Chain A
Amino acid sequence: MARILEALQKAKFRCYAPKDVEPLVPEETEDESRPSYAPFEEPRPETEQVAVGESGSDTKQLFRYFVDGSMRTTNAGYIVDSKDRYLPIFIAQIAVAATRLDTNGIRVQEYRNRNVFFLPDTFSEEDKAEAKHLVKGAAGSSRWPLALDFDCYVLEEGTEPVDAARKKVLAGMHEMEITLIKDLADSEKVTRDDMLMIDGSLQFYGNLDQAREAFRNVVGVAKSFDLHQRVGSGRNAKQVGTLVAGLKHRHRTPARKVTVARTNLTVGAWYLRLHSAKHLAGLGIDDGVVKLELFPDGEAGHQRPLPTDRCDLISRNVLALRHPTTPSTDPRWASHLYPIHLTERYIRTRFRDERAVRAYL
């Protein structure tokens, strides 16, 4: 019973064991085209800092579902392609989960995962087909069989192979998240009163056109955002960093319209401070602040501004989830929301150990 690399080597592929064990860390950056940030709230707040207030413990909780995706990639070695390029190969474990929060606590609603072997897209279709057969066969016939999908990452001019692979893995993960959210929406579980929160910015989802309706009651919560982005216009324009640095505890900024040129997506976005900055002196200026994103109502190109009371309601409910916190688990703990944190932890507990994955190589 040959392992993956051995099976490939026995055929015609020149491949080698991994030189290092550094995993592929996912990285998402906001659109480089710097989208516009026009006011997008009705009635328009008069100040740059809107007090959110606290929702009482007896008020109904708005967020019922929490979705997160995660991946763990294992450097599977290197392969030499027909142009004698020495290119990395990876095994990625990609998983998404939806959790449901109610009075009994948090429970897993849905969990989906894929294990994917990534080869560079520089081989002939025949070679790819043969490699796919060998890889799936080796993983599947192991003593502890692993269902392994096969995919190729696309090498682009001026892009490092690792970045290309990363992009492919992230796209796969986002696709799984979208499908999951779509299924939840289709089953009418996610509604205007039982909203869904997803970890990360909605701007990263490239193909939301087909799922726009499913995202109607979805709020994206981003812990990271571009601090250099300019918000507003003329003399009142400010960088996001300046804006959030001065944002008071339990306050939010007015919602603004963000249009992502690449995907032509329009969302309403605002920033909310979860924890008082005076306690977070040792952390970055954006720690304790999250960026909230929500699709506006209306057809594409004719979206209506977000109602202020809706923004306030969402903000209050996000604020209510700031406890418990998770200091010591992550430097970004002040921006964590606990249900999201647990959802991610759940996914990570399901991943196979790095050493176990290497055993298939």
Chain B
Amino acid sequence: MSNDKPIGRVVATERNPTTTVGVRFWLESDVQLKPFDLVRLSPPEHEGEVGEFYAIINEIEQVSDVPSPLSSFISADFGDAAITPRMARITTTYADATVLFNTRDIEMPVPHESEVHWPDEAGVRKALGMEDYNRNTPAGYITMSGPGQKPMTIHVDMDADYLMGPEGGHLNISGISGLATKTSYAMFLLTAIQQMQETQWNEGNRASFVILNVKGTDLLHLHEEAPDLDKKTKEDWTKCGLIAGPLENVTYFYPYSDTGARVQTKLGTSAVEQNIRDKRAYRYYYDVAGALERLRLLVEDIDDPNQTLVSCADFAADRIDAHSPWSTFREQIRKWAAETPDKQIPVVSWRRFARLIGQRTRNPFFTEESRQGGAIRQVTLKEILNHLQPGQVVVVDIAQLPDYLQSFVVGDVIDIVRRAKVGDLPFDEDGREAEPPDLGTVILFADELNKFAPKRGQARSITRHLREISERGRSEGIILFGAEQFRTGVDDQVTGNSSTQVFGRTTAVEAAKDPEIRGLPGSQTQRVPFLRKGELLVSHTRFSAGTLKLRFPRNGYNTG
């Protein structure tokens, strides 16, 4: 079957006319298409110079001339299921599609009887608007039906200007764990950005990356090449214009511990020691000064309608000497619990606050710098994050920490980065204002976003931080790549401000609840619960198609 032979014809009927957006066409009986495939529509000659149209398929239906099941029953000799008619009933398969592009920039309905053809790759990329991007970022590939049942693979890009600023920003990925491949896709995009900014982009902002490892060890081997990197995977990466491999320039931060390998991580001891030896990892801790700055983060998850716990935290942060040791800190809190220093806060709240703080600062990473601090690479996050460099990847491991400490660390990371970006830095040893570092655009990846910015409950400062990032981060140079199982469980402002939305497989209930999924055209909504592993619906501001079904190469890094 040649590319030039039409595979169907556009049909504009009284009940279903073609519009500037929608078109319907029937297909030859041996043609197989699938939703999200693109087709080229060539109007009849008598229509004049109206150019060619490209359209993306929303749904495919088959119709016969049977008006009802009863007719079919009658037709089978009144219910003889074994009967095989000499002549098959007439049927036709037709597709509904959305018009994306016209080669002459004409916005008129696709003419009736236009020929339907297989598209070519250049045409598809042009139709999807990718030729006009400023900074192309590989985003995966479309596997489309093609002539002779041979699939066509077309690589798809996002525009970095709309993925990581300045024109648009933020990305949100949702879907069921294990099937939606959320983390893998985020890492693929980060790798793509890292490679492209090193090799392709001549201008525009460059990015550094802060990755929060909230569970398992998936993100603790990002610097290691995948052991099963086979030829096919490498070809898939090449198709996308990338080199299969791990992320470069990766630094890990494990929470400090005073026992064992002196870290709290799910990573094996030998791997930790190796990374420390290779100067690729640090142990992070919180001294009193560091903790005081974020003290309220330790109590914000507690139901506290009158905000008395937060008031206690603010009171303590104002009055406790930042240079004091943890023993003094704890003693002072206990003392206030007994004395009730601020009469506006009830004693009950002080006691509750003392009990909580006592319990929550018991973690070994709330400590002073040990005497061998330098040797064992014990640092505060601020020391390193304040000096991030474009291209650098920082992984902050919080997987072993309880929820409230995960929020504490995430809040801290966000605050450090934001302050660094706006130049709000501590004075140096000579009392001079520190020079703001060139962090580039900081891309922050956080899984389990619902934990840090939940939709329900009182807005915590971490939620507010994330909201602000989603609203103003683009101009500040902080971009949030967030992931979660259920998008409806995340604060609307945090998800809603993302210019790129990625949907992996999710439940039917979630698909019905999520307005973003409900807003997808026609049957795409119904398709989300049935996406296969590795298939994603990606909606990017610059996609002329709105939403594309993409696949992406297997990980180039070791997933542990």
Contact = CB atoms under 8 A, between A and B. Distances in A.
A binds B: yes
B75 interface: yes
Contact of A339 (B29, B72, B75, B87): B87
A342 B91 CA distance: 11
A324 B85 contact: yes
A324 B84 contact: no
- Centre residue among B67, B70, B78, B87 by max chain A CB count within 10 A: B87
B74 interface: yes
B90 interface: yes
B76 interface: yes
A29 interface: no
Chain B interface bracket (under 10, 10 to 19, 20 to 34, 35 or more): 20 to 34
Given A57-B84, A105-B29, A324 B89 contact: yes
Interface in B41-90: 65-68, 70-72, 74-78, 83-90
Contacts of A325: 71, 74-75
A61 B29 CA distance: 22
Contacts of B85: 323-324, 338
Nearest to B67: A328
Contact of B71 (A276, A279, A327): A327
Contacts of A329: 65, 67
Interface residues of A, number: 21
Interface in A195-212: none
Interface in B84-122: 84-90
A327 B75 contact: yes
Contacts, number: 52
B438 to A, nearest CB: 68
Interface in A291-344: 320-321, 323-329, 338-339, 342
A324 B78 contact: no
Contacts of B29: 105
B73 to A, nearest CB: 9
A162 interface: no
Contacts of B75: 323-327
A321 B86 contact: yes
Contact of B86 (A275, A320, A342): A320
Contacts of A275: 77
A325 B29 CA distance: 22
B77 A323 contact: yes
A338 B89 contact: yes
Contacts of B74: 279, 325, 327
B68 A324 contact: no
A342 B65 CA distance: 10
Contacts of A2: none
A171 interface: no
A234 B426 CA distance: 124
A242 B273 CA distance: 102
Contacts of B88: 105
Contacts of B67: 327-329
Contacts of A320: 86
A106 interface: yes
Contacts of A276: 78
Nearest to B77: A323
A101 interface: yes
A327 B83 CA distance: 17
Nearest to B80: A323
B78 A57 contact: no
Nearest to B14: A353
A61 B71 contact: no
Interface string A45-62: 000000000010100010
Interface of A: 55, 57, 61, 101, 105-106, 275-276, 279, 320-321, 323-329, 338-339, 342
Interface of B: 29, 65-68, 70-72, 74-78, 83-90
11 contacts: A57-B84, A275-B77, A279-B78, A323-B76, A323-B86, A324-B66, A324-B75, A325-B74, A327-B67, A327-B74, A338-B89
Given A323-B85, A326-B71, 10 more contacts: A101-B87, A105-B87, A276-B78, A279-B74, A324-B89, A325-B71, A327-B70, A327-B75, A329-B67, A338-B87
What 5 A-B pairs are tightest by C-beta distance, nearest first?
Answer: A323-B85, A320-B86, A325-B75, A324-B89, A324-B75
